Structure 1
Amino acid sequence: MVLLCNSVCLLGGLFLISPVLMTPASMCTPLKTLNDSLSHRRRYMKHNFPINYTIRVHQREIFKLSNISRMNSSVEGLEELVLQRLWFQVNQGILKKIIRVMPERHPSRPYTVELERRFRDVEGVFVQSHPAEAFHQELPDVIQDIWDSLTEEPDRVPESSWRFASPKSLLDNLCRTMFCLFSECFASTEAQQDYCGVSHWRKGGRKTYSPKAEEKPAE
């Protein structure tokens, strides 16, 4: 299966500004499978970790709905596909970092490894859902800056750019931004939901779609 990271590395950070606005139907099944795993994140990312446990991440990896809103406001005509590609890059790194801090026998490691595998499955379908020529247009400057920050060697990142976040909060961000950027796959049979709105999640909207009702090694 072709992985997104391979195509990105070969393309040197080039993206498509594409006229395609709808999520390919083939994306929905793997996204819902990923969401099935994410529905258990509270148990595995909170209950199995020490209270207030955090890991170090780049500030750009704290990727929230508000980040999407700001980018849409600052870049006129920003295509959703560009944001989807950025979503994959951010969360690919997040999942690897969470796995890296867990010992082999940590009770949440098998769950996280499986979650990362499902995430890669979604990546593969995403890449295969777009033509090869979809990766040859330059990014808007604001997105290129984020991309460059995420791909910079860790030892060259300024100390001021690092942040600490809990594994649970990072997966919350992954889930909410997934619903926002791939909303067609999570359409509700009830009134139309604004998955990109912060107020939606504050009001308990995170339950709208559910297939089922200090950096150190975690102990």
Structure 2
Amino acid sequence: MIQLSTSVCLLGGLIGLCLLEPVLTALTPASMCTPLRTLNDSLSHRRRYMKHNFPINYTIRVHQREVFKLSNISRLKLQVEGLDELVLQRLWFQVNQGVLKRIIRVMAERHPSRPYTAELERRFRDAEGVFVESYPAEVFQKELPEKIQDIWDSLTEEPERVPESSWRFTSPKSLLDNFCQTMYCLFGECFASKEAPQDYCGVFHRKKGRKKEES
């Protein structure tokens, strides 16, 4: 009888893992697309609010890990074997949570771009909430790959403990450009066009987006 119970438990655990595995490898849940597209609508105005309303060559200090580009995603996929897209999406939310806070922190209460940035942060939090609700709790309890955990730990470290060499200066608009480009890359299903499929993680798309911003 004890052997039978043990077998049943093992079988139940195996079935649970089989059910969880498709969740970890699934495409972006459809529920994510509406808040991400709403967020994208706000990001489409970033040139006006993050460039025109700031002094020329204005930069802010951020952690080097918060300068999160398409090249960072490509590098991580090469460095971490079998890296799950969901893990990168979790990292994307963690990175850009800090980015938005840093941008807001440098703005005076009456800065013309503050209402825009506050609304952008609100929409970001809405998207993050839907993201968390779209997966079983077990997904977020799963241990992160060592490389990703190191990045996560550095992002959550107390500012006074961060070495001076780990800080970078970059413009608010560049940060939001990275924000937008990596969002398209990691949640491409929400922005895919049936008529003209694009590689949102590719260098060509990054250059194309830059030219569009400058035009």
TM-score (norm 2): 0.86
What is the aligned partner in structure 2 of residue 174 from structure 1? 179
Q: Which is richer in helix?
A: 2
Q: Which amino acid aligns with 1:75?
A: V
Q: Distance in 1 between matches of 2:97 and 2:24?
A: 25
Report the count of equivalent residues: 192
Q: Identity, % of aligned pairs?
A: 80
Q: Distance in 2 between matches of 1:193 and 1:40?
A: 22
* SS at 1:179 equivalent: helix
User: Following TM superposition, by how much is the alpha carbon of 1:205 offset from its aligned partner in structure 2, in angstroms?
Assistant: 7.9
Gaps of 5+ in 1: 1-15, 208-219
Moved over 2 A (4+): 16-21, 203-207
| More contact order relative to length (CA 8 Å, sep ≥ 6) | 1
Q: Distance in 2 between matches of 1:204 and 1:36?
A: 15
Q: Which amino acid aligns with 2:36?
A: L
RMSD: 1.6
CA contact (8 A) 2:29 2:134 kept: yes
Q: Which amino acid aligns with 1:171?
A: L
Between 33-42 and 139-148, the greater mean CA deviation after superposition: 139-148
Q: Distance in 1 between matches of 2:92 and 2:138?
A: 20
Residue 52 (1) aligns with residue 57 (2): yes
Q: Distance in 2 between matches of 1:167 and 1:142?
A: 27
Gaps of 5+ in 2: 1-19
- Render the CA deviation track for 1:95-130: whole Å, top value 9, x for unaligned: 011001000100000000000000000000000001
Q: Which has the larger radius of gyration?
A: 2
CA contact (8 A) 1:21 1:79 kept: no
Q: Distance in 1 between matches of 2:63 and 2:125?
A: 21
User: Following TM superposition, by how much is the alpha carbon of 1:163 offset from its aligned partner in structure 2, in angstroms?
Assistant: 0.3
CA contact (8 A) 2:51 2:172 kept: yes
What is the aligned partner in structure 2 of residue 144 from structure 1? 149
What is the aligned partner in structure 1 of residue 126 from structure 2? 121
Q: Which amino acid aligns with 1:138?
A: E
CA contact (8 A) 2:24 2:139 kept: no
TM-score (norm 1): 0.84
Residue 194 (1) aligns with residue 199 (2): yes
